[in-house]
Amino acid sequence: MGRYIIRRLLWTVFIVLLASILTFLIFFVLPAGDPALRFAGKQPTEELIAQARVNLGLDKSLPQQYWLFLSRLIGGDEYGWPGLGYSFHTRDAVLPELIDRSRVTGSIIVGGALMWMVIGVPVGVISALKRKTFWDRGLMGICLFFISAPVFWLALLSLLIFWKHLGWLPGTGYVPFAQNPGQWFAHLILPWCILALLYAAIYARLVRANMIDVVSEDYIRTAWAKGLSPRKVVMHHELRPALAPIIALFAIDLGALVGGTIVTETVFNMQGLGNWLLIAANNNDLPVTMAVTVVVAAAVCILTLIADVLLAIIDPRVRLQ
Amino acid sequence: MSSPREGHKLLEVRDLRVHFPTEDGVVKAVDGSSFALDRGETLGVVGESGSGKSITFLTVMGLINRSSARISGSVLFEGEEIIDASAARLRDIRGKRIGMIFQDPMTSLHPMHRVGDQIAEVVLTHTGASKKEAARLAVESLAEVGMPSPETRARQYPHEFSGGMRQRAMIAMALVLKPSLLIADEPTTALDVTIQAQILELIDELKEKFNIGVVLVSHSLATIADVSQDVMVMYAGRPAELGARDQVFQDAQHPYTWGLLESVPRPDVRVERLIPIDGQPPSLITLPPGCAFSPRCRHVRPECTAAVPELRDRGSGHLDACIIEPDEKTRLREERLAALEAGA
Ligand SMILES: Nc1ncnc2c1ncn2[C@@H]1O[C@H](COP(=O)(O)OP(=O)(O)OP(=O)(O)O)[C@@H](O)[C@H]1O
Ligand SMILES: [Mg+2]
């Protein structure tokens, strides 16, 4: 197990490097405008642009530039470790903003994920156990609604109702936990719900399908033949095999959301990573793009590693190699 | 609730019917089955796929969902009616007083739990035993079924076992609380031939040792021949023939049994080739009128389709559901054997 984890961590480093190289290449192969031009001020002269290019390091060859990025990343720079430079767009240091924005996105994702698991799994299990009844049809109908409803529309609608009309919630924006935990929670509850509803619906349908497969397995018939109570059959025999395949998916979904809660962040006016990536891409902001890429790639790799280890613990047939 | 009294059979099934209403019609999986079993006896049950063997004994276990099936008749287990027993009562019987093992040992054990824990769970569910005590009993039970190094095996997972070892583990699980009845639904069908014999021998041994009743379900008469005291041949949800082993094997009375016997290799009869029974099993939704076997029977006559034949006793507990007179049947059987030996 230990050797496996070390090997997977090395692999993670490799994937992160690969992702950063790809992002780097895409950035230069598909230029959306010269970053130096913007940097050179309102009336750019040839010299100013050239000067800006030198300042940004854009005068060097591609391999040199990448090498510079890498050595800063690993060795750190004047803003700390890992070295991520400063934004071409705002000229602010990337690292502190990355940390702030990671907190925002992290809050959204972790709360949302908790919520969608807490809702999705029981709904799926209940639907499967009450298969073809009123409850099953009702719950699955609701799921279908949330899967097909546009997140953007749901988010705006919920803001309109709970903020504007009912006045239950303080509004949009993000309040750091350290500043005011109550406000942090009040501002996040709606984004959590919006994020969770879609995923809860998807997961409920998956859990239901898995459960329905599992309940007709031979080993479940054996469990009944042992004289176990229905509760024990479900909790001790059906749930584990039904949930095991969900874990890998959960890890991938979480990882993808690290850079992907753009709609939620935009509607609720939260300065998270997804938002940032969007702005950076629009502004040819290489350092920010690279920073978010590295974080997302590392998050996906580490989350899938955790998922694989968890699965091996849950299912003895799975071998880690 | 009737309490177990002396003098009753271990298991007594009377006119059992299990009908499944479906969109295409009512599936009569079991349609008037009667038989009985005593302690210390093995009842061999044979019949083609779909003849209702599994449904019959899942009903005895109380494992058929009553909301999906219409169940009628009577199943007395140690004098206690199972058909209308409460769910809690049935749970009490399952695993503790009736153990059951299934066809495919590769899939019948939970893949994510240790074998020892799976056996111990039966003990923990039905008795007040401590975890430690339950684990000890699980190991003991594994040893009982001939598992080498049972302590180690108890800590392993099913995928670390061979097929035969898994079936042994299933038997250990079914018998850990020393029930009075063991139902084995095709316990050897999925196993290698050499392992099959070992498992049958083990079941027979344990039956003697604990003086339990055993139901041994199989597709083929050959499987049950050596270990059964009684034999029931099922066709389309009912017994076609029922009797002591020698009665059924030496003096079969039903043409369906003849067909089964002729499709089994036998040392005492030299046949050139095995004769499978012609035709397909009937639809359980629209059974043929009269005798359900009549469309496939070589000796069918007009009376056969008039009414559903009752099980009739030919003397000394040998029952069959064929209306042809015994003398006539003896003649027909001799003709068939002669034809077989001639290599027809
Ligand atoms: N829930 C159900 N709904 C409808 N029909 C069913 C249901 N369960 C079983 N049946 C039907 O009942 C019939 C008897 O099934 P059963 O499993 O008892 O056969 P079997 O004799 O055990 O066959 P095999 O040798 O293949 O195990 C089959 O034709 C099956 O299709
Ligand atoms: Mg069967």
Query: Per-residue pLDDT averaged across B256-282, rounded?
Result: 73
Interval B124-152 mean pLDDT: 97
Q: Is the CB of B52 under 6 A from ligand 1?
A: yes
Residue in A221, A226, A228 nearest the CB of B102: A221
Token pair recorded at residue A38: 């913007």
Q: Is A313 on the interface with B (CB under 8 A)?
A: no
Ligand 1 centroid, distance to B284 Cα (angstroms) = 9
- What residue's CA is closest to ligand 1, atom 31? B50
Identify the residue whose C-alpha is closest to ligand 1 atom 12.
Answer: B29
Report ipTM for this prediction.
0.91
**CB B307, CB B332: distance < 8 Å:** no
Q: Does B277 score more than 70 pLDDT?
A: yes
Chain B residues in contact with A223 by the CB 8 A cut-off are 110
* Alpha helices (runs of H) in B211-281, residue ranges in sequence order: 221-225, 245-250, 255-262
Q: What is the pLDDT of residue A302?
A: 93
Q: Is B54's Cβ below 8 Å from some Cβ in A?
A: no
Q: How far is B190 from chain A (nearest CA, A)?
A: 13
Bridge partner list, B13: B35, B75
* Model pLDDT, residue A151: 86
B213 neighbors B13 (Cβ within 8 angstroms): no
Of A217, A225, A227, the CB nearest to B92: A227
What pLDDT score was predicted for residue B15? Answer: 95
Is the pLDDT at B6 greater than 70? The verdict is no
What proportions of chain B, in percent to the nearest 5, are helix, strand and coil?
35, 20, 40
- Position B270 scores a pLDDT of 54
Q: Which pair of structure tokens corresponds to residue A316? A: 């003895």
Q: Which residue has the tokens 């890998």?
A: A248
Span from the CA of A117 to the centroid of ligand 2 (angstroms): 39
Neighbours of ion ligand 2 (CB under 5 A): B 54
Instruction: State whether residue A317 sits within 8 Å of chain B by CB.
Output: yes
Question: How close B102 comes to chain A (CA, Å)?
Answer: 8
pLDDT score at A50: 84
Distance from CA of B235 to the nearest CA of A (A): 25
A97-316 CATH fold: MetI-like fold (1.10.3720)
Residues of chain A below pLDDT 50: none
B107 with A218: Cβ contact below 8 A: yes
- CA of B248 relative to ligand 2 center, distance in Å: 22
Which tens digit of pLDDT belongs to each residue from B159-182? 999 999 999 999 999 999 999 999
> Between A62 and B37, where is the model more confident?
B37
State if residue B57 touches ligand 1 by the CB under 6 angstroms criterion.
no
| Cβ of residue B173 closer than 8 Å to a chain A Cβ | yes
Whether B100 sits inside 8 A of A241 (CB atoms) is no
Question: How far B136 CA sits from the closest chain A CA (Å)?
Answer: 18
Would the CB of B149 count as within 6 Å of ligand 1?
no
Ligand 1 atom at minimum distance from B234 CA: 21
Q: Which ligand is nearest to the CA of B29?
A: 1
The residue among A8, A131, A100 whose CA lies nearest residue A295 is A100
Is A226 in Cβ contact with B112 (below 8 Å)?
no
The protein residue with its alpha carbon nearest to ligand 1, atom 4, reads B20
Return the ∠ at Cα B190 (arms to B187 and B194), rounded to 5°: 85
Output the pLDDT for position A137. Answer: 96
A164 near B CB under 8 A: no
Cβ contacts of B126 on chain A, cutoff 8 Å: 227
Q: What is the pTM of this model?
A: 0.88
Residue contact A225–B61, C-beta within 8 A: yes
Say yes or no: B267 contacts chain A, CB-CB below 8 A.
no
**DSSP string across B166-210:** HHHHHHHHHHTT--SEEEEESTTTTS-HHHHHHHHHHHHHHHHHH
Binary contact (A217, B107; C-beta < 8 A): yes
Q: Ligand 1: does its nearest atom lie under 6 Å from the Cβ of B29?
A: yes
Which of chain A's residues have a Cβ under 8 Å away from the Cβ of B121? 226, 228, 236
CA distance A59 to chain B (A): 59
A95: closest CA among A66, A73, A75, A70?
A: A73
The pLDDT score that the predictor gives to residue B2 is 41
**Percent of chain B at pLDDT exceeding 70:** 94
Q: How confident is the model at residue B3 (pLDDT cuts 50, 70, 90)?
A: very low
B107:A219 CB<8 A:
yes
pLDDT digits (tens, 9 = 90+) for A35-89: 777 777 777 788 888 888 888 888 888 888 889 889 888 888 888 888 888 888 8
List pLDDT tens digits, range B65-124. Answer: 888 999 999 999 999 999 999 999 999 999 999 999 999 998 999 999 999 999 999 999
The chain A residue lying nearest B89, using CA atoms, is A227
List Cα–Cα distances, B42 to A113, A128, B79, B87, in angstroms. 56, 39, 19, 27
Strand ranges across the sheet with B319-320? B98-101, B181-185, B213-218, B42-46, B230-235, B238-244, B319-320, B312-313
Q: Which of A133, A214, A219, A236 to mutate to test the interface with B (most CBs of B within 10 A)?
A: A219
Torsion of CA B301, B306, B307, B312, to 10 degrees: -30
Residue B1 has pLDDT above 50, yes or no: no
- Which residues of chain B make contact with A226, given a CB cutoff of 8 A? 94-95, 121-122, 125, 173
Ordered by start, the domain boundaries in chain A are 2-75, 97-316
Q: Are A192 and A111 in contact (CB under 8 A)?
A: yes
> Could you tell me the two tokens for A227?
């004289």
Does any ligand 1 atom lie closer than 6 A to the CB of residue B75? no
- Chain A residue closest in CA terms to B175: A226
Question: Which residue's CA is the closest to the ligand 1 atom numbered 11?
Answer: B29
